[in-house]
Amino acid sequence: MYKEIKVFDYANVVLEKMSPGIFLNTKKGEIINTMIIGWGGIFVVWGRPVFIVLVRESRATFELINSSEEFTVSIPIEKDMLEAIKICGTKSLREMNKFEVCNLTPIKGRKIETPIIKEATLHYECKVIYKQDLEQSVIIPKVKTRYYNQDANHTVYYGEILDQYLYTNEGE
């Protein structure tokens, strides 16, 4: 069952749930993937509500999001999904199908092709309207040393929020 919400109704919950992490879902053709993000949030850019996410170019998600130019974000707020978050935050699509391993149920988005995760409650459907690789030369040294001592850089994706809602299993 879908419950309509306004785009910023749960913005504080999104930020609170960044630790331990939230699900970023992508799709390319028949391939679906989820990964965990702990950086990002909901903003207004160019007069549009956007969900900003960062994805390392070394991740399988990077190829999928660049191909489809869309993503969904699923946030568990009613139940503990820490084990799935741990697995999806440490394993790659290249190693396993995280949906199968974690018993996550993909449900097609209402406005885009990328699925949401049925077991989570809060969902955002986003279309990429801008992306940019982080410029390493302007990152302060303390941050660069901690997060970028490897070669893998992040790309920042601005996803215009096309739909947002709560999904519950009531009535099934």
* Phi, psi (deg, nearest 5) at residue 72: -120, 155
> Has residue 149 got a pLDDT over 90?
no
Comparing C-alpha atoms, which of 11, 9, 8, 7 is closest to residue 22? 11
Residue 172: pLDDT band by 50, 70, 90 thresholds?
Answer: low
Contacts of 105 (CB under 8 A, 6+ apart): 99, 117, 118, 119
Q: And the tokens for 152?
A: 């893998």
Dihedral in degrees, nearest 10, Cα atoms 59, 62, 67, 68: 110
Q: Which domains does the chain have, with CATH numbers?
A: 2-167 (2.30.110.10)
> Has residue 169 got a pLDDT over 80?
no
- Across the chain, mean pLDDT equals 93
pLDDT digits (tens, 9 = 90+) for 111-145: 999 999 999 999 999 999 999 999 988 999 899 88
C-alpha span between 41 and 102 (Å, rounded): 25
Give the N- to C-terminal CA distance of the chain in Å, as an integer: 8
The whole-number pLDDT of residue 48 equals: 98
Number of Cα atoms under 13 Å in the Cβ half of residue 124: 29
The whole-number pLDDT of residue 171 equals: 55
